[in-house]
Amino acid sequence: MPAASAPFRNRVTELLGVELPIVQAPMGWIARSQLASAVSNAGGMGIIETSSGELDAVRDEIRRMRDLTDKPFGVNIAQAFVRDPRIVDFVVAQGVRFVTTSAGSPTRYTPALKAAGLTVFHVVPSLHGALKAVEAGVDGLVVEGGEGGGFKNPRDVATMVLLPLVASRVRVPIIAAGGMVDGASMAAAFALGAEGIQMGTRMVSALESPVHEAWKQAVVAAAETDTVFLNRRHGPGLRALRTARSESLESAEQNAMSEFGDRERVMRLYFGGDLEASLALCGQVAGRIDAVRPVAEILRETADECRAILARLGARYGGG
Ligand SMILES: Cc1cc2nc3c(=O)[nH]c(=O)nc-3n(C[C@H](O)[C@H](O)[C@H](O)COP(=O)(O)O)c2cc1C
């Protein structure tokens, strides 16, 4: 039996009902059925976004997921972007079993989601946030370091510091996010206390990602120093690909959120490939991505490589 088909059994695979504890990050407009079904079909956890706020489109995407995969998939509620409290009823009505909540207080939706029988993981950027989420009754945490792409706590903490800190203080299972891209980062995350990983930037640049090829190629071309962290003073902080526009905002006084522009500008970037039209959210790990690859290959290689590294380290340093 090939190594990758051996199950990765732990609390994350048990709770999520997946073969591989690898989660595709929620991302507005990007985390839709084309990408999410590829992840679920490859044995990971595909996630459908709601942060676009386009719930009619999201409902169609979830329907499409049922045609494209019979494997589990989940939904993300990015609370800062979906302010309508009926989002809980919406998600429950879609029949999904797994939800991640992010960008807001874990006390807001966790009780209702748990009461409806869903498995809930909350995304946290700090120890304080992690303890609050555990108190709110979540099943697990997505611990997200500040090197990751997307919206961030303005006081960003790297995965290397945050993950072992949180792991030392909570008992719930942890999915590590921020910098996860391959078997080496997965093995490192497991060493630091995670039982699963979430990939954002890697998935933006995957073959099945719906974004324009220009964005994927910009990720491939990017060095590890080619992202900017914006909006420290205003919040939410955000990490995006360095372009002329985003670089000019690094020292700007204004709130960078206005720089996303309207939907037309966002669409021009996401699907038209004009990288200056809006802000291309992106993590530092872009510097470790050197090709556009199919999701199934990414997941299989990540799992194989992680297992090989853990075995090698065990053999070398494990004693006995
Ligand atoms: C383009 C993009 C959009 C994102 N949108 C969301 C979102 O809607 N909800 C959310 O919880 N996280 C969002 N994130 C953060 C990701 O979920 C993920 O945690 C992060 O990308 C992990 O770091 P990485 O980029 O190093 O993999 C986004 C990230 C990117 C790159």
pLDDT digits (tens, 9 = 90+) for 162-179: 999 999 999 999 999 999
User: What is the whole-number distance in angstroms between the Cα of residue 197 and the centre of ligand 1?
Assistant: 13
264-271 long-range Cβ contacts below 8 angstroms, 24+ apart: 266/29, 267/29, 269/212, 269/215, 270/29, 270/30, 270/210, 270/211, 270/212, 270/215, 271/210, 271/211, 271/212
What are 116-131's pLDDT values in tens digits?
A: 999 999 999 999 999 9
Residue nearest to atom 12 of ligand 1 (CA): 26
Q: Which residues pair with 46 in a beta bridge?
A: 73
> How confident is the model over 14-35, as a mean pLDDT?
98
Task: Average the pLDDT over each of 107-111, 159-163, 181-185 and give the range with the smallest value.
Answer: 107-111
Determine the pLDDT at residue 7. 65
Please provide the average confidence, as pLDDT, over all residues in the chain. 95
Mean per-residue pLDDT for 186-206? 98
Nearest CA to ligand 1 atom 7: 27
Average of pLDDT values for 130-156?
97
User: What is the DSSP-derived secondary structure letter of residue 250?
Assistant: T
pLDDT of residue 174: 98
Which atom of ligand 1 is least distant from the CA of 280?
1
Work out the average pLDDT over 58-78.
96
Pocket test for ligand 1, best of 22, 23, 27 (most atoms within 8 A of CB): 27
Lowest mean pLDDT among 62-66, 240-244, 249-253: 249-253
Q: Is the distance from CB of 253 to CB of 238 less than 8 angstroms?
A: no
CB-based burial label for 38 (10 Å; 0-12, 13-18, 19+): buried
Question: Is a pLDDT exceeding 60 seen at residue 251?
Answer: yes
In this structure, which long-range contacts are made by residues 7-13, counting pairs with CB atoms below 8 Å and at least 24 apart in sequence? 8/303, 8/307, 10/173, 10/195, 10/196, 11/140, 11/173, 11/195, 12/140, 12/173, 12/175, 12/195, 12/196, 13/196
At 13 the pLDDT is: 98
Please determine, for residue 276, whether its predicted confidence score (pLDDT) is greater than 50: yes
User: Could you tell me the pTM of the whole model?
Assistant: 0.96
Nearest CA to ligand 1 atom 4: 27
Q: Which residue has the higher pLDDT, 198 or 4?
A: 198
- pLDDT at 256 (0 to 100): 85
Lowest mean per-residue pLDDT among 69-73, 202-206, 232-236, 297-301: 232-236
Distance in angstroms (rounded) separating the CA atoms of residues 194 and 80: 26
Over 80: is that where the pLDDT of 283 sits?
A: yes
Ligand 1 mean position to 168 CA, how many Å?
24
Residue 150 Cα to ligand 1 midpoint, Å, equals 5
The residues near 86 (Cβ < 8 Å, ≥ 6 apart) are none
Closest residue to atom 27 of ligand 1, CA basis: 200
Q: Which residues contact 252 (CB under 8 A, 6 or more apart)?
A: none
Whether residue 259 is predicted with pLDDT greater than 90 in this model: the reply is no
Give residue 230's pLDDT band: very low, low, confident or very high (50, 70, 90). Answer: very high
